[in-house]
């Protein structure tokens, strides 16, 4: 046993638990922990410009690999409240993240001391576990429990609040005998796997819905193996996108009333059995439940029992880790295949593939200002297959999900349920920390980009290179589109004549307001502007060159036409297509259709 400050024990625990990547801001009430990190080493720290930004960086980092846990650090009071949006984004998408805040001394709590707030109570609704530690001797056990909670069942974030005197108090601690608490995950039984397979093989047009739980469980390879063994098409959810590559013959497209493909919805509407694995039946996926459920049998598999029946009661359910369920189902399916007892779904799978080949949206627009569809077409061609995309919300994200392609798990990093504006930039920095040397491309509308634009300086300071595509229509585009139902266009325009931008008759950007190129350059990054569709390919190539040369974030601002409505609807069968639709092989380059061959 050794006698040490509680914060010295904390740092040793973090290292032994494998949580060694921290993002945050020091402050008076958290300085003891920073002093322990400095003395011990072993934890890399990235200095953010805003604590909310630090929380999104930790969130983005946590999403980059199975089992990763990013750390967010901040002082007392407003630092903790700034983390709340980050905690909400993480718990909504089942992401483990550890937030640690400083706090006023124990004797000062409940006395309205400077920057003392009951962050435990504030954070509880958006965490799996939140605790203000009042006794230094409890510190090791609280952190031990926190890691177990983050990793057990449905993953999620925790917050630990450390009063200043608790951090400084000396305790007896032995890191050599410290062990992480065991993680026990629920597993499907053989009987459950047999019943699910019986129900699936009784259907004529079965589908597998692959949710974020498949990616969290590291089960994407097993999912594809199961789909290939059964010959059953797969529909990834927004959080499960990449669990099967878009160009896999059994990838049937995403389903939903916003982030979906036409062929995905069409395939789903022809199905008669749906096996959902690690998904939430989110409302943007289902649309109206009457249509979504009509004529179909549903099986729901989820690691969290309270998720079963939350949206609707399935015909059968299994509480299980996604990987353990798929393993059990694979075992039973292999046995039946060997005995010649699996039906063939070749015809059904081919019908889905034909819809995939024919029900496309047009992207090859030559308009000036640029239509957003053309931007995503050019991104598909310009960025390599292994690219990781990072985005949050808005018409940019919705159109991106409709028109981009993802080819592997954790290649689509998206704040899917919470969708906080400003998440994209700092999350991308966390992703770069977690995927050094890999291509990372962030996608923002101009409003999302402006929310936390100061975090670009973090990328410049710490040499975190990635490409940030900003599609600028100088509008709150998604809100403007939703205001159509109220027959208004009210307080959603960001356009103004910037007094620092001389009028240029050759530029379509005049009157668009904020000069994102100058702002990005002022923050130490590189930036270019693209105003015509024929210049997009060269613009993306130049961004790659600048990123590699200077090792900083590179902003590519694309000037869009001010008003474009992106396809969406209220039901899976009444999506409003505002633009012309593409026939097979028409109005789109070969690269867009290569995944159909």
Boundary of a domain, candidates 334, 358, 382: 358
**Is the per-residue pLDDT at 129 higher than 70?**
yes
**Mean pLDDT for all residues in the chain:** 93
Sign of the dihedral through C-alpha 535, 391, 489, 481: positive
Side-chain half-sphere CA neighbours of 373 within 13 A: 23
Say if residue 451 is in the same domain as residue 338: no
In angstroms, the CA 321 to CA 195 distance is 17
Q: What is the mean pLDDT of residues 67-94?
A: 96
pLDDT of amino acid 505 = 75
In angstroms, the CA 332 to CA 302 distance is 19
Say if residue 264 is in the same domain as residue 391: no
In angstroms, the CA 511 to CA 35 distance is 49
Say if residue 167 is in the same domain as residue 236: no
Torsion on CA atoms 371, 372, 376, 378, rounded to nearest 10: 30
**Is the per-residue pLDDT at 591 higher than 70?**
no
Q: How many other CB atoms sit within 10 Å of the CB of residue 491?
A: 9
pLDDT grade for 408, boundaries at 50, 70 and 90: very high
Residue 307 maps to a domain: yes
Say if residue 244 is in the same domain as residue 123: no
Provide the percentage of residues in the chain whose pLDDT is more than 70: 96
Residue 211 DSSP code: -
pLDDT of amino acid 593 = 38
Residue 498 DSSP code: -
- What CATH number should be reported for the domain holding residue 269? 3.40.50.1220
Residue 183 maps to a domain: no
Q: Please say whether the beta carbons of 108 and 117 come within 8 A.
A: no
Say if residue 280 is in the same domain as residue 370: no
- Residue 317 structural domain: 190-358
Say if residue 391 is in the same domain as residue 278: no
- Paired sense of beta strands 297-302 and 273-277, if any: parallel
Helix 220-230 vs helix 322-338: angle between axes, to the nearest 10 degrees?
30
Say if residue 352 is in the same domain as residue 382: no
Say if residue 271 is in the same domain as residue 374: no
In sequence order, what are the residues at sequence separation of 6 or more whose Cβ sits closer than 8 angstroms to the Cβ of residue 583?
358, 360
Say if residue 90 is in the same domain as residue 201: no
Say if residue 536 is in the same domain as residue 457: yes
Boundary of a domain, candidates 340, 358, 376: 358
Q: Please say whether the beta carbons of 268 and 202 come within 8 A.
A: no
User: What is the per-residue pLDDT across 159-203, written as a single tens digit (0 to 9) for each?
Assistant: 999 999 999 999 999 999 999 999 999 999 999 999 999 999 999
Residue ranges with strand state E in 212-338: 234-236, 273-277, 297-302, 316-319
- Number of domains forming the structure of the chain: 3
**Is the per-residue pLDDT at 584 higher than 50?**
no
Cis peptide before 64 (omega within 30 of 0): no
Say what the pTM is: 0.93
- Paired sense of beta strands 170-173 and 2-5, if any: antiparallel
Residue 383 maps to a domain: yes
pLDDT grade for 597, boundaries at 50, 70 and 90: very low
In angstroms, the CA 512 to CA 500 distance is 12
Residue 185 maps to a domain: no
pLDDT grade for 580, boundaries at 50, 70 and 90: low
Q: Please say whether the beta carbons of 186 and 212 come within 8 A.
A: no
Boundary of a domain, candidates 358, 376, 403: 358
Q: Please say whether the beta carbons of 91 and 133 come within 8 A.
A: no
With CA atoms as reference, report the closest residue to 86 among 422, 409, 413, 391: 422
Q: Please say whether the beta carbons of 400 and 421 come within 8 A.
A: no
Residue 182 maps to a domain: no
- What CATH number should be reported for the domain holding residue 23? 3.40.50.970
In angstroms, the CA 177 to CA 500 distance is 63
Residue 431 maps to a domain: yes
Residue 20 maps to a domain: yes
pLDDT of amino acid 374 = 95
pLDDT of amino acid 484 = 86
Work out the burial of residue 535: count CB atoms within 10 Å of its CB; fewer than 13 is exposed, 13-18 middle, 19 or more buried. Answer: middle
Residue 71 maps to a domain: yes
In angstroms, the CA 166 to CA 106 distance is 8
Say if residue 9 is in the same domain as residue 103: yes
Say if residue 548 is in the same domain as residue 527: yes
With CA atoms as reference, report the closest residue to 75 among 116, 47, 109: 116
């Amino acid at each position: 046993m050794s006698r040490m400050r509680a914060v010295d024990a904390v740092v040793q625990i973090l290292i032994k638990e494998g949580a060694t990547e921290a993002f945050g801001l020091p402050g008076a009430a958290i300085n003891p922990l920073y002093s322990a990190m400095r003395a011990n080493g072993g934890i890399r720290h990235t200095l953010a410009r805003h604590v909310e930004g630090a929380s999104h960086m930790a969130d983005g980092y946590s999403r980059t690999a199975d089992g990763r846990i990013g750390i967010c650090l901040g002082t007392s009071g407003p630092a903790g409240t700034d983390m709340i949006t980050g905690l909400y984004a993480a718990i909504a998408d089942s992401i483990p993240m550890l937030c640690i805040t400083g706090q006023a001394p124990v004797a000062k709590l409940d006395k309205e001391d400077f920057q003392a707030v009951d962050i435990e109570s504030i954070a509880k609704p958006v965490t799996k576990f939140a605790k203000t530690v009042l006794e230094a001797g409890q510190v090791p056990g609280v952190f031990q429990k926190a890691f177990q909670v983050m990793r057990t069942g449905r993953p999620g974030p925790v917050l630990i609040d450390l009063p200043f005197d608790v951090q400084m108090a000396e305790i007896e601690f032995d890191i050599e005998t410290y062990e992480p608490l065991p993680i026990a995950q629920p597993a499907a039984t053989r009987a459950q796997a047999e019943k699910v397979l019986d129900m699936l093989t009784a259907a004529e047009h079965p589908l597998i819905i692959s949710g974020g739980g498949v990616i969290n469980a590291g089960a994407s390879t097993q999912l594809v193996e199961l789909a290939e063994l059964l010959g059953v098409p797969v529909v990834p959810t927004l959080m499960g996108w990449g669990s099967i590559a878009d160009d896999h013959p059994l990838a049937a497209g995403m389903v939903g009333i916003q982030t979906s493909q036409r062929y995905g919805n069409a395939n789903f509407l022809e199905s008669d059995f749906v096996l959902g694995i690690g998904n939430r039946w989110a409302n943007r996926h289902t649309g109206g439940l009457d249509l979504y459920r009509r004529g179909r049998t549903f099986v729901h598999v989820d690691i969290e029992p309270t998720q079963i029946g939350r949206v609707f009661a399935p015909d059968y359910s299994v509480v299980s880790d996604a990987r353990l369920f798929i393993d059990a189902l694979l075992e039973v399916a292999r046995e039946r295949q060997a005995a010649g007892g699996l039906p063939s779904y070749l015809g059904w799978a081919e019908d889905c593939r034909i819809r995939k080949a024919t029900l496309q949206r047009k992207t090859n627009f030559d308009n000036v200002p640029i239509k957003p569809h053309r931007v995503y077409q050019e991104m598909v061609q310009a960025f390599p297959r292994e690219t990781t995309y990072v985005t949050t919300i808005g018409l940019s994200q919705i159109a991106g999900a409709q028109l981009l392609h993802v080819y592997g798990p954790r290649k689509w990093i998206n704040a899917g349920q919470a969708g906080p504006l400003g998440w994209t930039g700092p999350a991308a920095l966390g992703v770069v920390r977690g995927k050094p040397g890999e291509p990372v491309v962030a996608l923002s509308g101009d409003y999302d980009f402006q929310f936390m634009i100061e975090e670009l300086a973090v990328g410049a300071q710490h040499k975190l290179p990635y490409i940030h595509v900003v599609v600028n229509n100088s509008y709150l585009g998604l809100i403007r589109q939703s205001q159509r139902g109220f027959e208004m266009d009210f307080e959603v325009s960001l356009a103004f004549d910037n007094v620092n931008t001389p009028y240029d008759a050759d530029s379509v950007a005049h009157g668009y307001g904020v000069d994102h190129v100058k702002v990005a350059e002022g923050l130490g990054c590189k930036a270019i502007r693209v105003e015509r569709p024929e210049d997009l390919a060269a613009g993306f190539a130049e961004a790659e060159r600048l990123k590699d040369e200077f090792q900083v974030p590179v902003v590519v601002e694309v000037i869009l036409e001010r008003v474009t409505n992106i396809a969406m609807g209220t039901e899976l069968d009444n999506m409003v297509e505002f633009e012309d639709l593409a026939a097979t092989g028409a109005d789109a380059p070969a690269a867009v259709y290569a995944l159909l061959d």
